Amino acid sequence: MQIVVNTRLLLPNKLDGIGWFSYQTLKRITTNNPDVHFVFLFDRDYDDEFIFSDNITPLVIGPQARHPFLYYMWFHYTVKNVLNKLKPDLFLSPDGFLALGAKCKQLPVIHDINFLHNPKDLKPLTSKYYNYYFPKYAKLASRIATVSEYSKQDIAKNYLIDASKIDVVYNGINDGFKALTDTEKQTTQEKYSQGKPYFLFVGSQSPRKNLNRLIAAFDAFKKQTESDYKLLLVGAVYTSEGDVKKAIDKSQFKNDIIFAGRQPQEELEKIMASAFALTFVPYFEGFGIPLVEAMQCEIPIICSNTTSMPEIVNDSALLVNPFEVTEITDAMVKLFRDKTIQHQLVEKGIIRKQQFSWDKTANLLWQSIEKTI
């Protein structure tokens, strides 16, 4: 059996949500199935750390696909030609893109379709590309995998796909996330938040991450509590324009808002485990990996009551309407003042996190592959 895999997002020191999904699942699937031959398609020079086993053949093909025009060239010409030449049993695409015109079975992992609901969250050309081609990919696919029941129903409803053709494959949790001692937490706080407790956000500065309302809620929290707590934003980079800039300009506590930027994985793990709480209030998520990472680190969570997030956290978080700043503020104040709720959420998170592991993810994805082939 031969499976060709789109591995263009396996980038050293630059793994994001889909990159980690690719890394953790492919590492397990390739080593667990030594009799299967895998061809990994990269769009640039690859790192040997991503060649997990001897049954993998790496293949670098251009052009580098980082723009809608180049997506089109890479998937619909170069990848298509490779697939038609190799004639594999399956093309697996962890980021959801498929090769139109390829004469083989194809299995995309479509993590979410936020671009359909919130097209202005993306650059105009990217949004047009996604909204034109992803419905085609969904109909072309032999099966579809996705990362939550919410996304499954969303894809089925909006793309008119039989739900029985879609498999739910939850994300897992990286091993490095774990609870820290108070001394270890203090060391991290000294490094990142001037030694003070902090609410944490992890993610990009995409509009759907809702940072402008989180900042406004933090401002109101500071006014109500007069506490010395900080707001630490990891992954996000300070911008000199847009809604986030406007929210900071309005804040009376801008000196307590810290942009830590993108952090190495080991630092992110320490930062997560040292937070007072994760405040994760996007208005759209297909899964929300920081939620399960926070559970693993045994810190309380405030998150949105929309899309997939209630499904992922169940009863282990304070749920808020992400469009209502006062609800976010009230949850922050409630958590700050009530240690009983803090402990209850952590205990529920310890139970809930047992539903998520990369071993389970890889097994479910392999089951989806077997159904497809």
- Residue 42 maps to which CATH number? 3.40.50.2000
Q: Is residue 327 part of a domain?
A: yes
> Is the overall model pTM greater than 0.75, yes or no?
yes
Residues 103 and 226 in one domain: no
Q: How confident is the model at residue 141 (pLDDT cuts 50, 70, 90)?
A: very high
Residues 154 and 65 in one domain: yes
Q: Does residue 11 surpass a pLDDT of 80?
A: yes
Residues 322 and 349 in one domain: yes
Cβ atoms 252, 165 nearer than 8 A: no
Q: Does residue 328 surpass a pLDDT of 80?
A: yes
Q: Does residue 239 surpass a pLDDT of 70?
A: no
Residues 268 and 139 in one domain: no
pLDDT of residue 237: 65
Q: Is residue 266 part of a domain?
A: yes
Q: Is residue 160 part of a domain?
A: yes
Domains in the chain, number: 2
Give Cβ neighbours of residue 22 (< 8 Å, ≥ 6 apart): 7, 9, 10, 94, 95
Residues 83 and 22 in one domain: yes
**What is the residue-averaged pLDDT of the chain?**
96
Q: Is residue 80 part of a domain?
A: yes
Residues 70 and 106 in one domain: yes
Residues 128 and 199 in one domain: no
Residues 121 and 250 in one domain: no
Calculate mean pLDDT across residues 20-40: 98
Q: pLDDT tens digit string along 242-287?
A: 778 888 888 999 999 999 988 999 999 999 999 999 999 999 999 9
Calculate mean pLDDT across residues 284-308: 98
Q: Does residue 240 surpass a pLDDT of 80?
A: no
Residues 168 and 230 in one domain: no
Q: Is residue 219 part of a domain?
A: yes
Residues 161 and 267 in one domain: no
The domain in which residue 340 lies consists of: 182-355
Calculate mean pLDDT across residues 141-150: 98
Q: pLDDT tens digit string along 74-115?
A: 999 999 999 999 999 999 999 999 999 999 999 999 999 999
Q: Is residue 177 part of a domain?
A: no
Q: Is residue 101 part of a domain?
A: yes
pLDDT of residue 15: 86
Calculate mean pLDDT across residues 160-176: 97
Q: Is residue 122 part of a domain?
A: yes
Calculate mean pLDDT across residues 195-222: 95
Residues 133 and 28 in one domain: yes
Residues 272 and 288 in one domain: yes
